Amino acid sequence: MDLSLTDEQQEFRALARSFLEAEVVPHRREWDRAEQVDPALLPKLGEIGFFGLAIPAEYGGLGGDDLTYNIGIEELGRADSSVRGIVSVSAGLVGKTILAHGSEEQKQRWLPGIAAGTTLGCFGLTEPEHGSDAGHLRTRARRDGEEWVLSGSKIFITNATMADVALVFARTGTDETQQGPRGISAFLVPTDTPGFGRSLVHGKLGLRGQATAELSFDDVRIPADALVGEEGKGFRYAMETLDKGRISIAASCTGLIQACLEATVEYATGREQFGKPIAGHQLVQDMIAEMSVDVDAARLLTWRAIDLLQRGEPFGVAASKAKLFASEAAVKASNLAIQVFGGYGFIDEYPVQKFMRDARVMTLYEGTSQIQKLLIGRAETGISAF
């Protein structure tokens, strides 16, 4: 087993880190306080290639493999999880779904802008009463001649107030054979369509720099060709995309753990107590060692899932294991970092309290830790836990 990166992947990682250190890290506290990432950053991210890593060259992307894409996601997670979320939702959840299941016209219309960072997408799945139980969502799409008419709402939608297009999952099935997951379809909805509403969610614990909003659909009319793939297959498309998205979350959390480790080592080797750097105290070394082991374990679990994906083998359970471990380890690492920083870790002069706030949501979205355990347990036993 060869775990080394190619020369091209190493060069991209170096380029990505250099760019993010210059363009993101100095501003992350400011964006966190303002609850908004500077929109001018997005085309710059596009120029470097972050948005286009998973999109083929024929649609304006770089055509990178899944490992290279997730190297970029890890570096974004190390720099600022809010920026990472903007990229991974638009390029990953939305872009990859269009690429896998969209028509050629849909690909030509949306993918070049997504790859350039000039078009932003959001992923409209979660509803106020249906988070983990997405198979019973209530947003509806009814056919009216050559149009679909959408009604309903979504909640906690990343990029929603900034997005140009929303990938919306709605119920189209009406008879008894099309209830639950079997009656859900996917649609590409331009956000300037009449009746499309969005309301920003304020006061989040973490990921404050990325726009999170509630969506509403008041008889939103879209053409028949806005349907993505086949009618009734939307839930399957969403689950396929979220399996890949869980790998991205694991990669992002790996980057966040790496950031916690680096910040803690820098602080602990520079701060003195009892006549020596606090890094020389055994209990501090214990906490640093835990972070160091966890970042390696998280990265290896993530790369294992990527390897299965790239070889065309089943990867869903591996993705769940990577997401579960890495997200919980990110929460632990950020808490350990604050413990080492002491009182200074409690204020935003230092980044570790932001790391803690950003890490906490990673155990919730794209499948909670409890859902990941159910999926893993089901795979191990062959018995459904639902």
Contact 54, 64 (CB under 8 A): yes
Tokens of 366: 């794209």
- Give the integer Cα–Cα distance in Å for 70 and 253: 11
The β-bridge relationship of strands 212-223 and 147-158 is antiparallel
Specify the 3-state DSSP secondary structure of 123.
strand
Distance CA(144)–CA(330), nearest Å, equals: 48
Strand ranges for the chain from DSSP E: 121-124, 140-144, 147-158, 165-171, 184-190, 196-200, 212-223, 227-228, 272-273, 276-277
The DSSP output letter for 110 is H
Q: What is the DSSP string of 150-191?
A: EEEEEEEEETTTT-SEEEEEEE---SGGG-GGGGEEEEEEET
Catalogue the active-site residues.
366
Compute the distance between CA of residue 378 and CA of residue 222 in angstroms, rounded to an integer.
39
